[in-house]
A and B are shown apart, each in its own frame.
Chain A
Amino acid sequence: MTVPAPELIHPTSLHPAPQTVRRSRRFPAGVALATCILAFLALCAISPTLIAPQDPYKISLLHTLRAPSLEFPFGTDQLGRDIFSRVVHGASYSLAIGLGATLIAVISGLSIGLVAGSAGGVVDLAFMRLIDVLLAFPALFMSMTVVALIGTGGVNVLIAIAIAEIPRYARIVRSQVLIVRTSGYVEAARILGQRRWVTLLRHILPHTVGPLIILSTLGIGSAILSSAALSYLGLGPKPPTPEWGLMLAEGQGYLRKAWWIGVFPGVFATLTVISTTVLGRRLKALSDGRV
């Protein structure tokens, strides 16, 4: 167009945020705590015996339903198994399902979004209607349906959760592609005679990665929650696997007699989800330039 760039001083350039305020808020306590919690959980998942040397499967009828004590920090369940040890060992299941499902969902969503956004036309329409169908069902219901079709078990739960999570990633990638596709630099590449897929890889893909990383960090939390929910409903790993959702379900019957059986796995699941969410929000704020 023929309108010269405005030369007015932008209001924000007249009021730069004071540096001191920024510095003190660079690493808030909540983010530090969330990072510590996730680091601890990662350690639990990688090397559970280091933290909880007790065998999570060992049944001891001498020690059934013990309240938390020095010997059993989180108490024992109805079969005398050490809850602390089971919670620590359970971290690997939850994190594996959370990370695995999110990874599958991100890769599938990225592919669908890239293809739909850059192809346009009928391809776009077809993919997006498919995504709309997936979105029409609540995520948990969708996962349950998938499990009902492909059967229960850890890997199947992972796949079921991934499928339910695909739409959110596909949609954000597609919208990002649509923005970048009409940008001046993609047009410039076209004028140079650049091939379409090269433009896609060099210009469009890198610009979708940022928002995707943020969204997927938030997604890990909800995937962990979904896996716990599916296990709770008996669709996930089978007993005696020390999986948090399954432990919650097992503890439910003893809630009045021995609250610790259900509460500790629940607390761990909740802390994990909150921590990933805090971290995800922080990443989002950083990328928006809000901090």
Chain B
Amino acid sequence: MPLLNVENLSVSFPGAAAIRGLSFTVDAGQCVAIVGESGSGKSVTARALVGLAGDNAAVSADRLQLDGRDLLNLSPSQWRSVRGRQIGFVLQDALVSLDPLKTVGSEINEALIQHTDIPRRAARQKVLDLLTSVGIPDPEQRIDQFAHQLSGGLRQRALIASAIAAGPALLIADEPTTALDVIVQAQILSLLREMKAKGTGLILISHDLAVVASLADHIIVLKDGAVVETGSPKQVFSAPQAAYTRALLAAIPSVQTKGPRLTAGMDAETASPIEQAPSEWAALEARALTKSYEGWLVVDNVDMKLQTGETLGLVGASGSGKTTLARLLLALQQPNKGKVFLNGKPWSHLTERQRRPLRPRLQLVSQDPLGSFDPRYKVIDILTEALRITDLPKREWTARATQLLQFVGLSETHLSRRPRQLSGGQRQRVAIARALAMQPDILICDEPVSALDVSTQAQVLDLLEDLKRQFGLTILFISHDLGVVHHVSDRVMVMHAGRIVEEGPVDTVFAHPRDAYTQGLLAALPRLPSYEA
């Protein structure tokens, strides 16, 4: 008998079906992965399985059994005894899921007391054992710390520890590694693998096929609430049946996909690429750049050159100082030491008034385009704000704004929209259009695609590539995603703890990393399995 048996599960909200006709089983020691983009219904599925779909959600199924027990008609109090005791639930954001006023120990202790009849005296030892079992170092010290005192990886481990405190037979993990960098992600995945080996049934929910590839025994691909593909990893990866799965797989930028476009059927602009005259000066150069906050060195003596016409990738884990470096290069912050030069001329040591006329040369595409738009503005306002600064006459603003939208694959109809009415990918296109309005030489892209789904990400990456050729842009591309950086970059710099630890042509660095940190980073990269056809 399977551990969990789901037949024909449907969840709908007033006016919209979130998930339709989903069936699968999970055996003990087996991992079922549910993969899909945002809005595909994967998180709703997870919540329905623990009775948290919401008051106005209508959940129906032909069968929903855990270990032979029917879950369909449980009362809220019965659900409470199932959650935690029989089904553990791990959410994406551990900082939100952990109570900020409780120590990690008391959080886990609470789960223990509620779901098991362990004597209180023995509970602390059990908590320590749990912390040890999820690989938290120094559990004696960590047990009395609060969530904010732990790193993202440790928090996620603590959350898993509290989810498995009562020894549930089934663990549901909803995007458990999305907020983590690759090295920590690899650690969490191996922890989940260990639990699977010990006989825990696992439902892993992710938007990232590469993440689930190494763990899943069975993969379900969701799109708009319906199953588009299901099968073993081997079937899904080597012989995907659905066109959507194929597009999803092709859209993943990785070491294997250098060069070709990620989106099929969208031809590049045939405009002839602008030839860059070789320049004596680097487009952007930093010398011995150092920045510290409260004695903490965030950027440590960084020397870098961004050559005209190239795409330079900057990779590093979260907290490595990438964003601070970008802000120093943009002269949004002043370095403690060192200088930045734009086209060989002073940049960071100008006054803001002197710098202002030069600012259009250097534009930013950030991770959070929504935050960079005034919430009162429509797309037309956002673009005309930029055009106002250029010397374009006022009567040509609308025409130019339309043209800019066309450059980024949007149309005139988007002019009257508000950013909130646009999808994540469309917002990023508007942000890129605004940057292009200034006719910049250099584009600094700080995690431009990390908030986007993989297929949207592919479109934006292709767009940047097209624009680069069309307008002869020089790009500094910052990302924690090695696959993305490898795909777009000519050269790459690896940043770790504020320092550039390795630098070189992208293929060289990826194929023969010299630095130990780079080696670790590459080894931790989740890869799509390659099956011999």
Q: Which residues of A contact B (CB under 8 A)?
A: 1-9, 14-16, 183-185, 187-195, 202-203, 206-207
Contact = CB atoms under 8 A, between A and B. Distances in A.
Contacts of A191: 330, 332, 359, 362-364
A187 B360 contact: no
B207 A2 contact: no
Contact of A16 (B56, B91, B372): B56
B366 A184 contact: yes
A18 B531 CA distance: 52
B438 A4 contact: no
B308 interface: no
Contacts of B332: 187, 190-191
A245 B55 CA distance: 55
A192 B359 contact: yes
A213 to B, nearest CB: 15
Contacts of A3: 152, 179, 318
B56 A193 contact: no
A8 B43 contact: yes
B43 A7 contact: yes
Nearest to B330: A191
The 9 closest A-B pairs by CB, nearest first: A14-B54, A184-B371, A193-B359, A2-B318, A188-B372, A184-B372, A2-B480, A5-B451, A185-B374
Nearest to A18: B56
Contacts of A14: 13, 53-57
A195 B388 CA distance: 11
Contacts of A190: 332, 359
B contact patch SS: loop
A185 B371 contact: yes
A72 to B, nearest CB: 54
Contact of A192 (B38, B54, B207, B385): B385
B359 A9 contact: no
A8 B39 CA distance: 10
B360 A6 contact: no
Contacts of A2: 181, 317-318, 322-323, 367, 447, 450, 479-480
10 contacts: A3-B152, A3-B318, A5-B424, A15-B54, A15-B56, A184-B372, A185-B371, A185-B372, A190-B332, A190-B359
Interface of B: 13, 38, 43-44, 47, 53-57, 91-93, 96, 152, 174-175, 178-179, 181, 207, 317-318, 322-323, 330, 332, 356-360, 362-364, 366-368, 371-377, 385-386, 389, 424, 434, 438, 447, 450-451, 479-480
Nearest to B358: A193
Contacts of B362: 191
A289 to B, nearest CB: 13
B360 A192 contact: yes
A9 B55 contact: no
Nearest to A3: B179
A208 B207 CA distance: 40
A158 B178 CA distance: 60
Nearest to B55: A15
A99 B197 CA distance: 74
Contacts of B57: 14
B371 A183 contact: yes
Contacts of A189: 385
A6 B92 contact: yes
B47 A9 contact: yes
Contacts of B372: 184-185, 187-188
B199 to A, nearest CB: 28
A1 B367 contact: yes
Given A2-B480, A192-B386, 15 more contacts: A1-B318, A2-B318, A2-B323, A2-B450, A4-B179, A6-B175, A8-B174, A8-B175, A14-B57, A188-B372, A191-B330, A192-B363, A192-B438, A193-B359, A193-B438
B366 A202 contact: no
Contacts of A188: 364, 372-373, 434
B360 A193 contact: yes
Given A2-B322, A6-B93, A192 B371 contact: no
A40 B152 CA distance: 61
B56 A7 contact: no
Contacts of B56: 14-16
A9 B357 contact: no
A140 to B, nearest CB: 38
Given A2-B181, A193-B357, A7 B38 contact: yes
Contacts of A193: 356-360, 389, 438
A8 B386 CA distance: 34
B376 A206 contact: yes
A11 to B, nearest CB: 8
B374 A7 contact: no
Contacts of B38: 7
B345 to A, nearest CB: 16
Contacts of B53: 14
A15 B54 CA distance: 7
Contacts of A8: 43, 91-93, 174-175
Nearest to B332: A187
Contacts of B174: 8
Given A6-B92, A7-B178, A15-B55, A203 B43 contact: no
Contacts of B175: 6-8
A194 B385 contact: yes
Contact of B450 (A4, A7, A207): A4
Q: Which of A2, A184, A193, A207 has the most chain B CB atoms inside 10 A of its CB?
A: A2
A4 B93 CA distance: 10
